[in-house]
Amino acid sequence: MKKYKITISGMHCASCASNIEKSLKKVPGVKNANVSLMLKKGTAECEDSVSEDEIKKAVKRTGYEVSNIEKE
Amino acid sequence: MKHENHEQPIEDEEIKSWKKKLLFSWLFTIPIALIMLSERIFGFSVIEMPYSTITILALAFPVLFIFGWSTIRSGMRGLFTFYFNMDSLIALGTIVAYLTGFLGFTGIVDDYSGVSAMIMAFFTTGKYVEAVARGRASQEIKKLLELGAKKARILKGKSPGDDSGEPEEIEVDISEVKINDILIVKPGEKIPTDGIIIKGESSVDESMVTGESIPRDKIKGDNVIGATINQDGILYFKATKIGKDTFLAHIIKLVEETQSEKIPIQKLADKITGIFVPIILVLALLTFLAWLIFSNDLSRSISVGIAVLVIACPCALGLATPTALMVGSGMGAKKGILIKKGEAIQTMKEIKIIVLDKTGTITKGKPEVVEVYPKEKKKNLFEIAASLEKNSEHPIAKAIVSYAESIGLKKYKEVKNFKILRGRGIEGKIRGKSIVIGNRTLMNERKISLKNFEETIKNFENSGYTTMIISENKIVLGAIAVADALKEDSIEAIKKLKEAKLRPIMITGDNEATAKAIGEKVGIYEILANVLPEEKANKVKELQEQEKKMVAFVGDGINDAPALKQSNVGIALGTGTDIAIESGDIVLAKGSLMGAVQAINLSKATFRKIKQNLFWAFAYNVIAIPLAIAGVLHPVVAEIAMALSSVTVVTNANLLRRTKI
């Protein structure tokens, strides 16, 4: 298990945050995802096999950009 | 730590960008409004048809497709990718309205193109105000982020004790400071990072991180916390923690984690926001069709459909909880109350029983001399007692020595034949006289008569004090009462807890009598005595099961970690950097019980605010959407209502600051 911490740009409404969460959770291997509109940040807990790129792609799919990603 | 520094500009940029969009939108929308108003109200056209329609279409174009482009683009993308968002509603509403302008030429429908610009202008206005209010909601946290020092002064090359020649001081960026670097802080300066003082003494204002308003005196060997302010002396200290390991960085991380956490009450709102937009899209379409069928008025049907699209606002629902949580946790952080688990805010109002650990929570956690009963002079008594006790490492001995120092004793007498009598006391010889210091058992053992002291000693014992009797050649010189003294505000804090209808219970490893005596003093009459540290968690569990009530536990977070975990809300007390951040749902940076009272008040107030916000957000949508469907709201009015609803929620969250905690 690992945890990605992402900073997301372009979010501006509550459904944005919930869209990103949904999209992240659809990535195979992602167990839990949490996005905060207030902080413009999110976390994704996932299996070790999930790559940074997959996380970025999942965010991008919903129309937002990942401006920073770190592994915890 | 580094990446967090550009956090604030992002928010500022957002505000700036909305401001720009808002200004330009209105610049083009006001002329549109004037043209429309002159036609509607005064019945004449500034510009003749069809030129007025062309003018409006031309003016509205940049409002939608330049200044509103980010919204339109994101909304359209949402529609095509099925990740619907609130922009999708606005984009659809404004584009449909705009297109009626072209249809207007044909005469089939009324021209709503002007309305599209007005909707967009109000939308950007609402977004701007909301962004400002959201920025305000996070102001305390931003202050925390900015709190860290930017520069540090390093002492290079020489050891600080070395006074030969000028020590070399170099100012460096905070990121260049390494562990074990010796740093210098002058009066009035910010302490750059966490460390331990190796030379100098001063008082340090730690209010910004611990909420403790009185500056703390610091001497060699004491810890300092980065971002606190050195008051009056020069301090030399060794950096022990840097970057993201510092106390401040921990606090920031903690507060941020709370922010992004979902608390149970939010779940319903989140579920709704997740499906909100598609539902509204369907509702708007159905409304349009129903109106078309029943009224046979295409223009009206379009207008009502647009009103439904733009009035619906998932934002108020989505912002209700996080904004209030943000303001609440920010207020807490300022006072040294760190809400680690957002859920604790919700659980707190269910708490009926509060279990308080005695040592270190109600009391200071280390013994102090609390009463002295000398036969003659107090100073003489301590001269003898401290000279002997100085040879012992026992906490009680230390308490006596430190008291002796506090009353001005500096010189000690020479002690011969010193002996520790385990569990009873000590003995030795001073100038040939035999001195015995110890408890009643020891005095009885040595057949020393307590005579005139009997009553005092009984009183001490009944108060739960450890009583040390001092004798010289079998004659009692006096008695010293040592006890773990109460923290200054424990009595008041417990009174406040009772006022808040909480049932306080004290838990301790002390025997029944001592525990009762302390309980009596602070006003706690329910006591769990003789509880071994490892049994505390079980006791909490028993309470939860027997009483069927939610139990909070307040403890020091180090020995009490399992009990803190077992309780429904664990409040960990700490002092400065010693706090154990991992244990506890709420962590208090200042080690006073009053902090626990504040934490409870803050949690309750924040949760009330969350409920209020959610109520208004739900109520708004439940009332506004049917009104829009019924066709009683003009699309522009609908948009204004929508903008107001999310602004109201955020503003209401900011009002939490007015609550006194």
CA dihedral A41, A45, A51, A53 (to 10 degrees): -30
Would you call B296 an interface residue with chain A, using a CB distance cutoff of 8 Å? no
Q: What pLDDT score was predicted for residue B500? A: 93
How close B319 comes to chain A (CA, Å)? 7
Query: Using an 8 Å Cβ cutoff, are B416 and B429 in contact?
Result: yes
User: B347 vs chain A: nearest CA distance in angstroms?
Assistant: 21
Cβ contact B319–A34 (<8 Å): no
Residue from B446, B445, B418 nearest B430 by CA: B418
Give yes or no: B232 in active site. Answer: no
* Residue B74 contacts A, CB cutoff 8 Å: yes
Mutate to test the interface with B, among A9, A13, A32, A61 (most CBs of B within 10 A): A13
Element (H, E) at B365: strand B363-374
User: CB B318 to CB A63 under 8 A?
Assistant: no
The amino acid occupying position B38 is S
Mean pLDDT by 10 residues, chain B (661 residues): 46 86 95 85 70 89 94 90 88 94 80 92 92 87 85 74 65 91 92 93 86 83 90 92 88 80 84 88 96 92 94 87 91 89 92 92 88 89 92 87 88 89 88 92 90 88 87 93 89 95 92 87 93 90 94 85 92 69 82 92 95 93 94 92 92 93 81
**Residue B324: closest C-alpha in chain A:** A38
Nearest residue in A to B82, CA atom: A62
- Closest approach of B17 to chain A, Cα-based (Å): 12
Residues in chain B within 8 Å Cβ distance of A38: 134, 137-138, 259, 319, 322-323, 326
Comparing CB atoms, the residue among A23, A34, A41 nearest residue B83 is: A23
> Do the beta carbons of residue B330 and residue B623 sit within 8 Å?
no
CB contact under 8 A, B317 and A14: yes
Q: Tell me if ipTM is over 0.90.
A: no
Residue B39 has a pLDDT of 76
CA of B273, closest CA in chain A: separation in Å?
6
Residue in chain A nearest B261 by alpha carbon: A34
H or E element at residue B143 = helix B139-147
* Phi and psi, residue B417, nearest 5°: 55, 40
B contacts of A8 (beta carbons < 8 Å): none
Provide the pLDDT for residue B618: 92
pLDDT score for B6: 43
Tokens of B518: 């302390």
Gap between the Cα atoms of B653 and B334, Å rounded: 17
Q: DSSP letter for B342, please.
A: T
pLDDT the model gives residue B166? 62
Structure confidence at residue B5 (pLDDT) = 43
- Across the range A32-44, mean pLDDT stands at 86
Of B427, B402, B399, B430, nearest to B414 (Cα)?
A: B430
Q: How many helices (H) and strands (E) does chain B have?
A: 22, 22
Sheet with A41-46, strands from edge to edge, namely: A30-36, A41-46, A2-9, A65-71
- Least Cα distance to B326 among B121, B474, B136 occurs for B136
Which of A13, A35, A43 is facing B315, going by the closest CB pair? A13
User: Nearest CA to B564 among B576, B575, B551?
Assistant: B551
Chain A residue at shortest CA distance from B321: A38
Q: Which of B87, B111, B194, B357 is catalytic?
A: B357
Closest chain A C-alpha to B286 CA, distance in angstroms:
22
- Contact check, Cβ <8 Å, B256/A41: yes
- Minimum Cα–Cα distance from B269: chain A residue: A14
Interchain contact A60–B (C-beta under 8 A): no
Taking Cα atoms as reference points, which of B630, A43, B451 lies closest to residue B638?
B630
**Which candidate, B24, B3, B12, B98, places its Cα nearest to that of B58?**
B98
**Contacts (Cβ under 8 Å, ≥6 apart) of B598:** B335, B337, B661
Inform me whether the C-beta atom of residue A32 falls under 8 Å from chain B C-beta atoms. Answer: no
Amino acid at B104: G
For the whole model, what pTM was predicted? 0.83
